[in-house]
Structure 1
Amino acid sequence: MAHQTVGVYSETAPGERRVAVVPAAVRSILDLGLAVAVETGAGREAWFPDTAYTRAGATPVPRAEVFDAADILIGVQPPNVAATHRFRAGQALICLLQPQHVPDLIRRWADQGLTAIAADLMPPTSGRAGPMDFLGAQERVVGYQAAVTAADIFGRCLCEPAPGSGTGRPARVLVVGRGPAGHQAAATARRLGAVVHVCEAHPAACPDIAASVRGSDIVIVTAEHPGRRPPVLVPARGIRAMRPGSVVVDTTAGAFGRAVELAQPGDTRVVEPGVTVVGDDNLASRTPTDASTAYAMSVTALLKRLVRGGALSIDLTDPAQAEAVVTHHRDILNDAVWQRILDQISLAGLP
């Protein structure tokens, strides 16, 4: 008999097609003694129909019922709820929270007694419970998608069209960033036949980045530390020195910054002298089925660590939980978030 209910809500952020739990993961969650309620249509954009969830043992329900009935709410992005919405004291939320960017929200949720768990803060090698590297799994999808997006936009083959014929040369691809996204982008571009150079995602480690940009056909900029504000690595003058038909993809361009000066979040634009610049920090949503499946595996592994006897059991002596649990029992436990709140209070002159 289930003790608590996991509620999976639909993603509402523009362009977000992932779902936090896929049907194949439902059985593992049920085996923990939990019930699973999924918002009607939550998996549609990732090609998981409600009937697949029903067959797996989950219950599709309206959005309001998910938020009212769930003891543990699970999503990819933070839930889009009205400012007047109040969570029940003791409810828990698991998502890619990026808490340092939303201190006002964290403060409000702590006051309501919500336990907020930032999946993006979960250490990638945290224990025996399974693959809890939420960001690493998503970043590998990002790297793949960045490479295929650039290849799709680029005006010719990445490989030499006819090897040894002298009719063309392989495309030169520069990947900035040595994290999971950078490694996957480089591997994918190489499989497509390009000549690939990889450098660190900060200027001091790659002093010749401007020259490397000028000499490249495709530049893919990834985040070595996802969730942090990225430094500007590719200035406008570097892009304008590239050849017409070149492509630049910035996987960091979002609400909290960008690494390519001319990139605009969620926008693909052509700038002089004919360089296509893609700005998108949510490329994983362009491959929603695989990205959702990887995310759900991480969710399942995390729940195995957090659930005891069919109920959520927070243990802050566990180093992994101490990293990821942002609010609990109306306290804000993350020092960096608490400092952001104190800074805001000081600037506003509030008590």
Structure 2
Amino acid sequence: MTHQTAGVYSETAPGERRVAVVPAAVRPILDLGLAVVVESGAGREAWFPDTAYTRAGARTVPRAELFDTADILIGVRPPNIATTHRFRAGQALICLLQPLHVPDLIRRWADQGLTTIAADLMPPTPGRAGPTDFLGAQERVVGYQAALTAADIFGRCLREPSPGGGAGPPARVLVVGRGPAGYQAAATARRLGAVVHACEARPGSCAEIAASVPGSDIVIVTAEIPGRRPPVLVSARSIRTMHPGAVVLDTTAGAFGRAVELAQPAVTRVVEPGITVVGDDNLASKAPTGASTAYATSIAALLTHLVRGGALSIDLTDPDQAEMVVTHHRGVLNDAVWQRILDQISLAGLP
């Protein structure tokens, strides 16, 4: 069997500083029998220079060469590539694909014979906090950064030192969401000295959330649901009951929705009566070195599961692969994605 090449491309989305494979993950991938090529400059924003990749055994190449020659394309987000570009039949793509949000791309890539593997569809397994926990690892970075970002914007320390050597009253932090991001945000805020109240991020919790918002100094909302629009959980009306100087941060506010009514993607603004509202669904990129290292660990572990004899081996009888493989052999295998494509075709009146 001919050994294949794994290619790591640069991220081009605004504000995205992560890289899918870090130099320390190159050797484990080489040990699988794969060659590794990295787009020149791919790791620069995460503080991984090209020389670190070459020392680890990878080659650095221009973007066009990487997309033409790599058998397995690896990224954090789907590649931003011209619509005129055609992938080779049999090439594969591994990334946080969010396939339900890009059905047009999925249809086009399936027609071209590209195998797409959505790392974000790795099935949740009880107790899985190991190397293939793609979303959990990134969400923990998001929660940590959310607490730091909100604390930095807030007008005082979360536990204010007093002149007599004691401490003033702690800030009150409401964390909406009990997933990895919510737990990490709550734990970080507590370490900074805040009193933290956490509640579920679901529509049924809206009454509890609305009752908790007015007395909070900081509200952090972590309600992202992979493949779905986040529910609106914090209303404009409840935000305007907060005191001036309070902070509301929505980690879901992006192109696919928001959980805070007044949040706007990649925008920090002050609304009456003086509440800072932050919308940012890319907080993991604020800690690009750590987030990239965690992601690369997951990629190396996933490839260990997928590669046999130096080549990608798709086995749809494997339950994990059956969940993650979205397109293969020019077909769309994910039923929910296929239904989304059919819905688009019906709306557009296309054949």
1:120 aligns with 2:101: no
2:324 counterpart residue number: 324
1:296 aligns with 2:296: yes
Range that drifts further, 207-216 or 111-120: 207-216
Aligned pair in 2 of structure 1 residues 170, 278: CA closer, same or farther (>3 Å)? same
Range that drifts further, 6-15 or 161-170: 161-170
1:57 counterpart residue number: 57
CA distance in structure 1 between the aligned counterparts of 2:127 and 2:84, rounded to whole angstroms = 38
1:146–1:283 Cα contact (<8 Å) kept = yes
1:101 counterpart residue number: 101
1:179–1:225 Cα contact (<8 Å) kept = no
1:264 aligns with 2:251: no
1:221 counterpart residue number: 221
Aligned pairs for 1:225-304 within 5 A: 225-304=225-304
Range that drifts further, 190-199 or 227-236: 227-236
After TM superposition, give the deviation of residue 164 of structure 1 in Å: 8.7
1:179–1:224 Cα contact (<8 Å) kept = no
CA distance in structure 2 between the aligned counterparts of 1:127 and 1:27, rounded to whole angstroms = 27
Range that drifts further, 340-349 or 260-269: 340-349
Aligned pairs for 1:1-351 within 5 A: 3-125=3-125, 131-162=131-162, 168-223=168-223, 225-351=225-351
CA distance in structure 1 between the aligned counterparts of 2:346 and 2:63, rounded to whole angstroms = 38
1:5–1:36 Cα contact (<8 Å) kept = yes
CA distance in structure 2 between the aligned counterparts of 1:2 and 1:249, rounded to whole angstroms = 50
After TM superposition, give the deviation of residue 168 of structure 1 in Å: 2.7
CA distance in structure 2 between the aligned counterparts of 1:269 and 1:100, rounded to whole angstroms = 30
Aligned pair in 2 of structure 1 residues 167, 116: CA closer, same or farther (>3 Å)? closer
Moved over 4 A (4+): 126-130, 163-167
The code of the aligned residue for 1:33 comes to G
CA distance in structure 2 between the aligned counterparts of 1:130 and 1:87, rounded to whole angstroms = 32
1:2–1:35 Cα contact (<8 Å) kept = no
Aligned pair in 2 of structure 1 residues 233, 166: CA closer, same or farther (>3 Å)? same
Q: SS of the residue aligned with 1:225?
A: coil
Aligned pair in 2 of structure 1 residues 224, 348: CA closer, same or farther (>3 Å)? closer
Q: SS of the residue aligned with 1:168?
A: strand
Aligned pair in 2 of structure 1 residues 127, 74: CA closer, same or farther (>3 Å)? farther
Range that drifts further, 183-192 or 235-244: 235-244
Aligned pair in 2 of structure 1 residues 129, 7: CA closer, same or farther (>3 Å)? farther
CA distance in structure 2 between the aligned counterparts of 1:213 and 1:306, rounded to whole angstroms = 46
Q: Show structure 1 runs of 5+ residues with no match.
A: none
CA distance in structure 2 between the aligned counterparts of 1:66 and 1:343, rounded to whole angstroms = 34
Aligned pair in 2 of structure 1 residues 64, 224: CA closer, same or farther (>3 Å)? closer
Q: SS of the residue aligned with 2:326?
A: strand
Aligned pair in 2 of structure 1 residues 243, 148: CA closer, same or farther (>3 Å)? same
2:206–2:234 Cα contact (<8 Å) kept = no
Q: CA RMSD in A?
A: 1.9
Aligned pair in 2 of structure 1 residues 215, 286: CA closer, same or farther (>3 Å)? same
The code of the aligned residue for 2:302 comes to L
After TM superposition, give the deviation of residue 167 of structure 1 in Å: 6.6
Q: Residue deviations 1:39-65, cap 9 Å, x none?
A: 000000000000000110011110011
After TM superposition, give the deviation of residue 347 of structure 1 in Å: 1.7
Q: TM-score, with normalisation over the residues of structure 1? A: 0.96
The code of the aligned residue for 1:271 comes to V
CA distance in structure 1 between the aligned counterparts of 2:28 and 2:2, rounded to whole angstroms = 13
After TM superposition, give the deviation of residue 85 of structure 1 in Å: 0.5
Q: Residue deviations 1:302-349, cap 9 Å, x none?
A: 000000000000000000000000000001000000001111112222
Range that drifts further, 151-160 or 164-173: 164-173
Q: Show structure 2 runs of 5+ residues with no match.
A: none
Aligned pair in 2 of structure 1 residues 91, 127: CA closer, same or farther (>3 Å)? farther
Aligned pair in 2 of structure 1 residues 87, 162: CA closer, same or farther (>3 Å)? same
Q: SS of the residue aligned with 2:28?
A: helix
